[in-house]
Homo-oligomer: A and B are copies of this chain.
Amino acid sequence: MHPVLTYTDRIVRLEPPARDELLRAFVPQEFPKGACLLRAGQTSQHYHFIEHGLVKSSFYKEDKEFIMNFFKEPILFTEINSYLTSAPSKYQLLALEPTTGYRIARPDIERLCRQHHAIETLFKQLLAFASVGMMKRISEMLEENATVRYRLFVQEKAPLLQRISLGDLAAYLGITQVSLSRIRAGQ
C-alpha cells in the first residue's frame, strides 16, 4: 500500500474515491541532508509526508537558533502558522537527514477537503495532534526548568535523541548548548 495511505488509515478511514484522489495529489519529494523544505520568509503552501528521514522546524533570533519541533517518519505535517495565515513563515523546515516522501499543495488540500468530508476530518485530526503536542510543550516550559525538560526529552523521545545533535536539542529546550552540556554533566 502507498505509505501515505498506511499513515492516514490509522487516523481516518477513507473511501476508495477519496483515497484515489488524495494519492493523485501527492508528489514525490527528496531532500539531501541540510536541504530546506521551506525557507523562512516563504509561505507554507504544502503539507509534507515524510516516508524516511527527519526534519526540524526552527527560526533565528539574533543569530541564535530555536527549534519548534522535530518531525520524523512517518508523519504528515507542515509549518502550520504560515499555512493557516498565508503569512510569510518565521520558521524554516530543514532536513536533518536525507529525507524522502511526498508533498501535497494547499489548493489540492482545500479542494479535497471540500469534496470529501472524510479528508476534512483527516486534516482536522492532524490539527488535533499538533494541538495536543503544543499544549504539552507549553505546559512543560511553564512548570519545568531546563534540567527537568532535558530529562523528560530523554525519557520520552529516546529514539529521536540518537538522531539529533546536542546543539539542536539545546535549541529545542530553549537554552544554550553550553548550558545543556552543563546539565548533562550533572551541575
* Chain A interface (Cβ < 8 Å from any Cβ of B): 59, 61, 64, 66, 68, 80-81, 84-85, 90, 113, 117, 120-121, 123-124, 127-128, 130-132, 134-139, 141-143, 174
Contact flag A81-B130 (CB < 8 Å), given A124-B120, A124-B124: no
A118 to chain B, nearest CB (A): 10
Q: A80-B131, A131-B130 are in contact. Are A68 and B143 (CB under 8 A)?
A: no
State the oligomeric state as a number of copies: 2
Residues of chain B with a CB closer than 8 A to A59's CB: 139, 143
A-B contact pairs, 20 of them (CB 8 A): A59-B139, A66-B139, A66-B142, A66-B143, A68-B135, A68-B138, A80-B128, A80-B132, A81-B131, A81-B132, A81-B136, A84-B128, A84-B131, A113-B121, A117-B117, A123-B124, A127-B128, A127-B131, A131-B134, A134-B134
Chain A interface, DSSP helix/strand/loop, else mixed: helix
Residue A85 contacts which of B113, B117, B132, B174 (CB distance < 8 angstroms)? B132
- Are B80 and A135 in contact, with the CB atoms below 8 A? yes
